[in-house]
Chains A and B, each alone.
Chain A
Amino acid sequence: MSEVDYSYFDALVDSVFVLNKDKGISYCNESAAKLFESSVRRLSKGRPLSEYAKFANENLFTADAHPMQEVQFELVAGGKSGKVQMATQPFVNSKGEAGWIAVIRDVTLEEALHAKHHKQLQELEAYSKNLEQMVQERTAQVQKANIMLAAIMNSLGQGFLVFDRDGTCSDFYTKACEDILESSPAQKKIWDVLKLNPNEIETFKMWTQATFAEQLPFDSMKDLGPSAYKHSQDRHVRLDYFPIRAEDNKIVNVVQVATDWTNEYLAQQALEKEKKYARMIIKLVTSKRQFASFLESVPAVLRECRKLALDSQHFDYETSFRLLHTLEGEAGIYSALRIWQASRQAQEVIEPVKRGEATFTPEIHSKYTQAINHLEAEYKAFLQENAELFELAGMGGSQKVELEKVHVSNVIHHLKSKAVSTDTIHYLEDELMRETVISSLNHYNDVISDVAARLSKKVYPIEFVGGDLRLFTENYQNLFSSLVHAFRNAVDHGLEGPEDREMMGKDPSGRLVFKSEFFELNNRRWVRFALSDDGQGIDASRIRTKFAGSTESDDEIIQHVFDPGLTTRTVVGEFSGRGVGLNAVKAEAEALGGRAIVKTEIGKGSQLIVEVPDLGFPNSQKLSA
């Protein structure tokens, strides 16, 4: 090792090697030892530099100086590699020994830092882009959610708006506000939106302050706020309130929900009206005489009220009021709504006079007269719209007395014993005890309409021929009841659908005719009922399939429609197919001593004929209380 003092290189941060002429290491400083991951002591033993490190450029140790240049290097012992900046200088030391000084700057750290910085910049850039994209995506999500929320809110058909403690409405509101509250509330004062008058505004402001301060629990405070909005078109708008709270639970905003419940209100009104109508009917049935008496009293009240108003100077408002008030009360009892309302309105006209707050001025007199006229009109309208009901109840016309049939029978029996003439007896029986056929069968119109509707067929109302024929209908109740099957069959089996009928040149609506007539048979009066339809007729061949081998004629084979269990239907429908119907008719006819047959013509229609004796009043009837 050279004894030359190279210690002036000790303090340099750069690595310094002093190489001898053989490129052995004569000296290195601490930085150089660190670069080569060794120690000064070990490196300074004169071993060749190449034993410790390889440089990409091997031509740095020549007779010429080489300025700083970047060189790749690698430690021979492995591990470290990188880039250095290296400068070499040939020199001759104080002892005359030639060699080189190599100054090496490790730029690996700089490279690493640069790469690290670059990578961090790239990551930051990517993060920024990502962040931007995330923000965009999030914004789009929020916008989508807002749109959906707005659509949902608007679909509810309720007016939502939000106002703060100053009463200012926010920009958020549902479209329904424009209809229900008749304005767009954004940035307006809530009391202006609700169209409150100045008195109401002050009260509302106090309520708002108290509500936001929660001087009472919100659920209690909200009930003290306006509960309805006066819509200009008389719609019924209900107002509800809900709080929006901050994280500290303080109320920061209030949501007002305006609900148009006009339809429900009208439905309620209609329901009330129907209930009253039902009550009226009940009253009519249970207190018919009193009801009739009430109705009869109205014209008298009207006359008296008009009479009292003739003398406007001495108008007896007390009596008039009393009459109208009584009428109102009675109308309420009998649920006569029109009369009730009109009599109430008439009272309201003269009430200020009654209370001494006004005199009977010409103006009030005129209004009173109008009110009485209106009451009369309502009374007449009430009678007219319920005319059928009153007639059914036996009201109107002359007075009526109800008697039990058995009592009449007993009277007639008594008359017979007194040798009253047969004609007279028959006349009395006809008038007092027999009833018309139509009165027992008219309700089958509902049956055929119902069946036709469900089968998408059309049918005219039953044409009754001889419907006023009078019978002791008690004898025929079971027969008449069994005819439900005949009427249903006529529509279900008999009539074609409207399109088919049109194609055949028939009226799309089918016709059913029920004919009743008396006839003589074996010196006795019989009655014949014939139910005809203009449908497709009965196909004898279809019935014949159930009776293979039969030699019966078509007219005979179709009589099997009365057989129990016979049906040509493969599917049991709502109305037929069970093979029961006409068998019941025949059974009842035969139970009365009669018969039932059918006649038919394909394409033209069928006829059910029932012939039964004309039976007298049933002797088995018991006396009733």
Chain B
Amino acid sequence: MGLTKSEKQQSGSDVIVTLAGHIDEDAQFTALDLSGASGKVVVDIEGVTAINSCGIREWVKWIRTAPNTTSVVFKKCPKVIVDQINMVTGFLPENGKVESFFVPYYSDESGNEKMVLFEEGKQFNGGDVNPPAEVKDESGEAMEMDVIEAKYFKFLKK
């Protein structure tokens, strides 16, 4: 299937990369080479819905094109990406950081799911996590984090 969207734009000295779709064997990162980036690289990855082992390889190859001196910031990371960050060494490069990510919430009562965006400085700060006091679904039912917190937020402590 591959990426349905892969854009690279210059914003001053910063490079903005927007990705959506599947990061798999069909994903092409050639046009997104980051070797020329001098400022910050911002990767908006909200639209990525799936990633497989072939995609992880392609991702790691691509993210390493960013110069070591360049800061790579990941915005709106979906759960599939956070899981890979936690499991795969090198998925998040040394010069990379997560600025925001989604946390799945689930209601046992209604069975509804919801993704809540955690942003740096708001819901987390460094390794400390300050989740919202309560999250409710559309029917007003209380929702709980559908993750093992210690494991899901583990990457923040690195």
Residues of B within 8 A of A (CB): 25, 52-54, 80, 83, 86-87, 104, 106, 144-148, 151
How many angstroms between the C-alpha atoms of A614 and B144 in the bound complex? 151
Residue numbers in B under 8 Å from A10 (CB-CB): 151
26 A-B residue pairings within 8 Å (CB atoms): A7-B151, A10-B151, A13-B53, A13-B87, A30-B83, A30-B87, A31-B87, A34-B80, A34-B83, A39-B106, A39-B146, A39-B147, A40-B147, A40-B148, A40-B151, A41-B106, A41-B145, A41-B146, A41-B148, A42-B106, A42-B146, A109-B52, A109-B53, A109-B54, A113-B25, A113-B54
Residue numbers in B under 8 Å from A113 (CB-CB): 25, 54
Who on chain B is nearest to A31 by CB? B87
Is A11 within 8 A of B146, CB to CB?
A: no
Residue numbers in A under 8 Å from B53 (CB-CB): 13, 109
* Residue from the set A7, A41, A109 with the largest chain B CB neighbour count within 10 Å: A41
What are the 5 tightest A-B residue pairs by CB atom distance, in nearest-first order? A39-B146, A30-B83, A41-B146, A40-B148, A109-B52
Is A11 within 8 A of B83, CB to CB?
A: no
Residue numbers in B under 8 Å from A30 (CB-CB): 83, 86-87, 151
How many angstroms between the C-alpha atoms of A116 and B52 in the bound complex? 15
| Nearest CB in chain B: distance from A199 CB, A | 67
Known: A10-B151, A109-B54. 12 other contacts (CB 8 A): A11-B87, A13-B53, A13-B87, A34-B80, A39-B106, A40-B148, A41-B144, A41-B145, A42-B106, A109-B53, A113-B25, A116-B25
Q: Is the interface of A mostly helix, strand, loop or mixed?
A: helix
Who on chain A is nearest to B154 by CB? A10
| Nearest CB in chain B: distance from A164 CB, A | 45
How many angstroms between the C-alpha atoms of A39 and B151 in the bound complex? 12
Who on chain A is nearest to B146 by CB? A39
Residue numbers in A under 8 Å from B151 (CB-CB): 7, 10, 30, 40
How many angstroms between the C-alpha atoms of A41 and B52 in the bound complex? 22
How many angstroms between the C-alpha atoms of A109 and B53 in the bound complex? 9
Residue numbers in B under 8 Å from A13 (CB-CB): 53, 87
Who on chain B is nearest to A11 by CB? B87
* Residue from the set B53, B106, B148 with the largest chain A CB neighbour count within 10 Å: B148
B-contact bits for A1-37, CB 8 A (1 contact / 0 none): 0000001001101000000000000000011001000
Who on chain A is nearest to B53 by CB? A109
How many angstroms between the C-alpha atoms of A147 and B53 in the bound complex? 58
Residue numbers in B under 8 Å from A7 (CB-CB): 151
Residue numbers in A under 8 Å from B145 (CB-CB): 41
How many angstroms between the C-alpha atoms of A39 and B146 in the bound complex? 6
| Nearest CB in chain B: distance from A161 CB, A | 52
How many angstroms between the C-alpha atoms of A474 and B34 in the bound complex? 121
Who on chain B is nearest to A40 by CB? B148
How many angstroms between the C-alpha atoms of A11 and B85 in the bound complex? 11
Residue numbers in A under 8 Å from B80 (CB-CB): 34
Who on chain B is nearest to A109 by CB? B52
How many angstroms between the C-alpha atoms of A56 and B92 in the bound complex? 38
| Nearest CB in chain A: distance from B84 CB, A | 10
| Nearest CB in chain B: distance from A468 CB, A | 116
| Nearest CB in chain A: distance from B148 CB, A | 5
Residues 83-122 of A at the B interface (beta carbon under 8 Å) = 109, 113, 116
| Nearest CB in chain A: distance from B51 CB, A | 10
How many angstroms between the C-alpha atoms of A113 and B24 in the bound complex? 10
How many angstroms between the C-alpha atoms of A34 and B83 in the bound complex? 10
How many angstroms between the C-alpha atoms of A269 and B87 in the bound complex? 103
How many angstroms between the C-alpha atoms of A31 and B80 in the bound complex? 11
Who on chain A is nearest to B108 by CB? A42
Who on chain A is nearest to B52 by CB? A109
Residue numbers in A under 8 Å from B106 (CB-CB): 39, 41-42
Residue numbers in A under 8 Å from B52 (CB-CB): 109
Who on chain A is nearest to B86 by CB? A30
Who on chain A is nearest to B51 by CB? A34
| Nearest CB in chain B: distance from A82 CB, A | 13
| Nearest CB in chain B: distance from A36 CB, A | 13
* Residue from the set A7, A10, A39 with the largest chain B CB neighbour count within 10 Å: A39
Residue numbers in B under 8 Å from A34 (CB-CB): 80, 83
Residue numbers in A under 8 Å from B146 (CB-CB): 39, 41-42
| Nearest CB in chain A: distance from B35 CB, A | 29
How many angstroms between the C-alpha atoms of A13 and B91 in the bound complex? 14
With A10-B151, A30-B151, A109-B53 already in contact, the answer to whether A39 and B87 are too (CB < 8 A) is: no
Residue numbers in A under 8 Å from B25 (CB-CB): 113, 116
How many angstroms between the C-alpha atoms of A201 and B106 in the bound complex? 98
How many angstroms between the C-alpha atoms of A116 and B2 in the bound complex? 13
| Nearest CB in chain A: distance from B69 CB, A | 30
How many angstroms between the C-alpha atoms of A30 and B86 in the bound complex? 10
Residue numbers in B under 8 Å from A42 (CB-CB): 106, 146
| Nearest CB in chain B: distance from A160 CB, A | 52
| Cβ-defined partner of A39 (8 Å) among B54, B86, B104 | B104
How many angstroms between the C-alpha atoms of A41 and B83 in the bound complex? 14
How many angstroms between the C-alpha atoms of A42 and B53 in the bound complex? 24
How many angstroms between the C-alpha atoms of A10 and B148 in the bound complex? 11
Is B54 within 8 A of A41, CB to CB?
A: no
How many angstroms between the C-alpha atoms of A41 and B148 in the bound complex? 6
Who on chain A is nearest to B149 by CB? A41
Who on chain A is nearest to B104 by CB? A39
